[in-house]
Structure 1
C-alpha cells in the first residue's frame, strides 16, 4: 500500500504541477482565441437562455431533457464540496492568490466547456429510448478505429473510478464529517440515510435525477449565496482587504503571507487550477454527459448555457466562499478543508455557522453524488451494457455508505489522480474537434 501511495503521489505531482496546468489552460486559451472569446460575446445570451428556460417543473421529451434540467444536472455535479472544502484547501495550501488562478482557469474554461457541450450535442445518440452523449461518443466520432476505442475506453474507466466510486466517497465523507461536527450525529447514520435516498433516485434514471436537480439546485444556491452575502456585509472592510490579498498574492505570495509560509506563484497556480477543475469540471469531460441530453434547436444553444454553469460555480459560489474565509480572518486558525470554512462561518454566525455549513454541504455534496452517478452510468452502459448498470448502482450506494465513515488519504489521492487522467483523452478529442466546433459556432451565430 505504501508503494501504491508513492506511485499515486508521483503521478499526481506530474499531472497537477505540470501536465494539466499546460493542457487545461492551453486548451481554454486556444478555444478562446479560435472562437473570438465566445465566453464574453455570448455570455449575455447564455444568461438570457438560462433564465428564459428556468422552471422547477420542466418536462422532458423523447428528444431529451429541458435545457434548464440539463444545466441543473450539470451544476449539481459542479457545485459540490469543491466549492466549500476545495476553496478552503486551495487558500490554505496555495494562499489567497490561488483564487485568482481559479478565476483565470474558469474564464478560459468557459470556452472549453462550450466546445465540450457543442460536441456532446453534435454526437449524441438515442439508445434504449433515451438520449445519451458525452466524451466516449465524440472521442469515437473524431478518432475512428482502435485508437478511438482505446481513448474512449480509457476515459470510461477513469470517470467510473474517479467520480462514480472514489469521488462519491469524498462527497459522502464531507457530509458525514460536517454533520458530526454540527450535530454530533454518527456519520454512519448519516451515510445510511444518504445511501438509501440516493438509491431511490438512481433507480429512476436520468429523468428522476433531472426532476430532483431542477428543484434542489436553485434552492441550495440561493441559501448559500444569501448566507455568504450577510457575512460579507458584516465585514465590509475585511471584504475589500480580501480582494486585495487575492490579487497581490497571485503574483507575490510572500507580500501577503510572508516568506516563511513557503507559498510560491507556481504553488498558488497549482492549487488554484487543480481545485478549480475539481469544482467547475471544465475540460474534465464530466458535464457533457448532462448537456448532451438537452432538447435544444442547435448545439450552440446548450454550449452558451454550459458556460453559465462554470460562471455560477466559480465566479459566484466559490468566490463567495473564498471571500468569507479571507474577510473573517479564518485563515489564521490553521484549519483546512471544510473545517476552515466552518471557522469562518462560526466567526459570523456563532454556533449556527457549523449548522449552516453542514446543511449547505448536504445540498452541495448530495446533488454532486447523483450527478456523478449518472455520468458514471453512461460510461458503464457504454462499456459493459445495460445489465451492468444495476451492479454499478449497487456499488455506488456502498461507496456512499462506506465513504461517510471512512476517510483514507489514498482514496482521496487516487480520486485526484483519476480526475486528472480522464482530462487527457477528453481534451485530445476536444482539440481535434476544433474545426467542427468552429463550423457549428459560425452556423449558430448566423441563426441567432
Structure 2
C-alpha cells in the first residue's frame, strides 16, 4: 500500500498538486466569466426562477425534472468534500485555503453553466431507452474526437470510484466509528447493501431518492453548524479576517498547526474546491443531460446554482465551524495512519520558534531545511520510545505527543526498525496526540457548540446522508460512462463492482483514498476543460439566442 500511495503522490505532483493546474482550472472559469459577461451574477436570479417554474411537460425528452436533475448533481457534489474536504483543506493550508475554495466556486459557476449547456445540447437516447449525455458525447458528436471521449469516459469510471465511492464511505466509516463505536467493516457492509438497492433502479429511482435526501440533509447540517457558530460568535470576524488576510500570504503557524505557504494554501484550496463543487470536472453535466426540456441554456442556468449552494454556502458553514471553534489548531488523541506518519532525526518542540520554522520549511518547501528522515532502530519499552532516543515523531503535519506503540492491541516491547522515516513492521500501530484532518476534524468541531456530543452525532448522520447520496449520484455517472464505452449490458456488472468497492473502502487507509481521488479528478477535468474551451463560440451563440426570448424558452424548457 505504501508503494501504491507513493505512486499516487507522484502522479498527483504532476497533476492536481502541480503549480500549473490551479491556474488552468481558475483560468477557464475566469475566461468564461468575462467572455459571457459574468453569467453567475447576471443570471443568478433567473436560475432560481427556472428552477421554481413547476413541472416540465412530461412529453418532452428526458428522464428527470429540473429539480431532480439539480438534486442528483448536488447529491454528487454535496458530500465528503463539504465535511471532510473542507477539514482537509484547512488542515493543509490554514484559513487561506477557504478563500481559494470560494474563488474556485465563483468562477466555477460559469464553467458549470457552460459544460452543462453543451451536454444537454448533445445528449442522445441509449439503447435501453434512457437518456445518455455528458462531455464524452459532446467530444464525439460535436468535436469528432472519439479518442478524447474515450479518455474522458475511462477517467469518469475511475473517478466514480475515486470521487464518488471510496472517500465517501471511508469518511462515513471513520465518523460513525468516532461517534458510535461501530466497526468500519460493519458500516461498509450495511451501506453497500443499501447502495445496491438504490442504484439498481437507474436514474429515475436515483432522482427520486436524491430529491428527497438533499433538502433534508441540508437542513439538518445547517442546524448542527449554527449550534457551533452561535456560541463561538466572537471568533467569526477574526476567522473571516484570517481567511482574507492570509489569502495572498499563506497561513501563519498557530498552535499545533505549523503554517502553510501561499502556494500551498492556494493549491490545496483550489484542489479541494474542485473536489467539493466539481465545476469543470464534467460530472454534473451527465446528470443534467437527463433533465426534461429542449432548451440547453435553461438547464445550464440551473446548474450554476450548484457551486453556490455547495461551496459558498455549505463549505463556508463548515469552515466557520472549524475556524471559530479553533479545533484545527489543537492536538487530539487519534490512531496514526501510516501515510500521515514520519519519523525525523533530532528533537523538535513546536513551542519553540526555531523548531517551528525548521518544520515549516520541511513540510511546505521540501528539501530547503536541515530536517531529515530518521533511519535506524528504536528501543520501545511498555509502548514508549526511550527518552534517550534522538527522534521526533510527526503525524498529520504536527509534532506528535504521548505516542504509544502497540502490537495486537497491547503495548509493544522490543526494537522497532525505521527506514527513511517509516516503520518497516506494519503490524505495529501508533496512537497519540496530534492534529487531525478530514471528516474527523469536522466531527470533533461539531462537538464544540450548544449541542455538545449531540453535535457530533448530527455531523456523523449528515455525513452518512451527504456521502451516501454522493455515492448514489456517482454510480449513475459511472454507468453512463460504461454505457458509452461498452454498451448498456455492462452497466449491471459495473454496479456490482461499485458496491463491492464501497464495502472495501470503508476500512482502507484514509490518506490513500484521498490521494486516489485527487488523481482521478484531474484525469476527468483536463479533457473536459479542453473541450469546453474549444466550443466557447458555440456556447456564446446559444446564450445569445436564449437571451432573445428568455421567457418563452423558460416556459418550454
Q: Measure how far apart 1:149 and its partner are.
A: 1.4
* Residue matched to 2:485: 383
Q: Measure how far apart 1:10 and its partner are.
A: 2.2
Contact 2:94 2:259 in 1 (8 A): no
- Do structure 1's residue 428 and structure 2's residue 530 form an aligned pair? yes
Q: What is the SS of the residue equivalent to 1:380? A: helix
- Do structure 1's residue 138 and structure 2's residue 135 form an aligned pair? no
Q: What is the SS of the residue equivalent to 1:143? A: coil
Counterpart CA distance in 2 for 1:7 and 1:191 is: 26
Shift in alpha-carbon separation, 1:105–1:32, aligned structure 2, 3 A: same
Counterpart CA distance in 1 for 2:200 and 2:508 is: 25
Of the three residues 436, 439, 442, the one matched with 2:541 is: 439
Contact 1:142 1:429 in 2 (8 A): no
* Residue matched to 1:246: 243
Counterpart CA distance in 2 for 1:199 and 1:272 is: 33
Counterpart CA distance in 1 for 2:20 and 2:485 is: 27
Shift in alpha-carbon separation, 1:31–1:398, aligned structure 2, 3 A: same
Counterpart CA distance in 1 for 2:276 and 2:91 is: 16
Q: Measure how far apart 1:255 and its partner are.
A: 5.2
Counterpart CA distance in 1 for 2:237 and 2:4 is: 45
* Residue matched to 1:80: 79
* Residue matched to 2:150: 153
- Do structure 1's residue 401 and structure 2's residue 509 form an aligned pair? no
* Residue matched to 2:12: 12
Q: Measure how far apart 1:241 and its partner are.
A: 1.3
Which deviates further from its counterpart, 418-427 or 160-169? 160-169
* Residue matched to 1:346: 447
- Do structure 1's residue 281 and structure 2's residue 278 form an aligned pair? yes
Counterpart CA distance in 2 for 1:254 and 1:429 is: 36
Counterpart CA distance in 2 for 1:61 and 1:296 is: 6
Counterpart CA distance in 2 for 1:436 and 1:107 is: 22
Contact 2:133 2:285 in 1 (8 A): yes
Count how many residue pairs are aligned between Structure 1 and Structure 2. Answer: 443
Which deviates further from its counterpart, 235-244 or 320-329? 235-244
Counterpart CA distance in 2 for 1:335 and 1:95 is: 13
Counterpart CA distance in 2 for 1:136 and 1:3 is: 32
Contact 2:93 2:251 in 1 (8 A): no
Shift in alpha-carbon separation, 1:260–1:304, aligned structure 2, 3 A: closer
Of the three residues 322, 325, 343, the one matched with 1:325 is: 322
- Do structure 1's residue 184 and structure 2's residue 185 form an aligned pair? no
Counterpart CA distance in 2 for 1:209 and 1:254 is: 41
Counterpart CA distance in 1 for 2:44 and 2:323 is: 29
Contact 2:170 2:505 in 1 (8 A): yes
Q: Provide, for residues 219-274 of structure 1, a one-character-per-residue CA deviation record: whole Å limited to 9, x for no partner.
A: 11111112212322222211111111111111233557499834111111111000
Q: Measure how far apart 1:47 and its partner are.
A: 2.0
* Residue matched to 2:67: 68
Shift in alpha-carbon separation, 1:325–1:410, aligned structure 2, 3 A: closer
Counterpart CA distance in 2 for 1:82 and 1:362 is: 13
Q: Measure how far apart 1:297 and its partner are.
A: 4.0
Counterpart CA distance in 2 for 1:296 and 1:59 is: 9
* Correspondence 1:17-56 to 2 at 5 A: 17-53=18-54
What is the TM-score with the length of structure 2 in the denominator?
0.76
Q: Measure how far apart 1:296 and its partner are.
A: 2.6
Contact 1:25 1:105 in 2 (8 A): yes
* Correspondence 1:85-164 to 2 at 5 A: 85-127=84-126, 128-144=128-144, 148-164=145-161
Shift in alpha-carbon separation, 1:209–1:184, aligned structure 2, 3 A: same
Higher helix share: 1
Contact 1:60 1:207 in 2 (8 A): no
Shift in alpha-carbon separation, 1:107–1:396, aligned structure 2, 3 A: same
Counterpart CA distance in 1 for 2:489 and 2:260 is: 50
Contact 1:84 1:321 in 2 (8 A): yes
Q: Provide, for residues 264-321 of structure 1, a one-character-per-residue CA deviation record: whole Å limited to 9, x for no partner.
A: 1111111100000000000001110011111134111111110101100000000000
- Do structure 1's residue 413 and structure 2's residue 519 form an aligned pair? no
Counterpart CA distance in 1 for 2:62 and 2:94 is: 46
Pick the structure with greater CA Rg.
2
Shift in alpha-carbon separation, 1:270–1:64, aligned structure 2, 3 A: same
What is the TM-score with the length of structure 1 in the denominator?
0.94
- Bigger RCO (CA 8 Å, 6+ sep): 1
Counterpart CA distance in 1 for 2:266 and 2:256 is: 17
Q: What is the SS of the residue equivalent to 2:230? A: helix
Q: Measure how far apart 1:59 and its partner are.
A: 7.4
Contact 2:86 2:319 in 1 (8 A): yes
Contact 1:284 1:423 in 2 (8 A): yes
Counterpart CA distance in 2 for 1:187 and 1:99 is: 30
Contact 1:54 1:68 in 2 (8 A): no
Counterpart CA distance in 1 for 2:160 and 2:68 is: 21
Contact 1:190 1:404 in 2 (8 A): yes
Counterpart CA distance in 2 for 1:318 and 1:408 is: 20
Q: What is the SS of the residue equivalent to 2:26? A: helix
Q: Over aligned residue pairs, what C-alpha RMSD do you find?
A: 2.0
Q: Provide, for residues 392-422 of structure 1, a one-character-per-residue CA deviation record: whole Å limited to 9, x for no partner.
A: 0000010111111222644432221111111
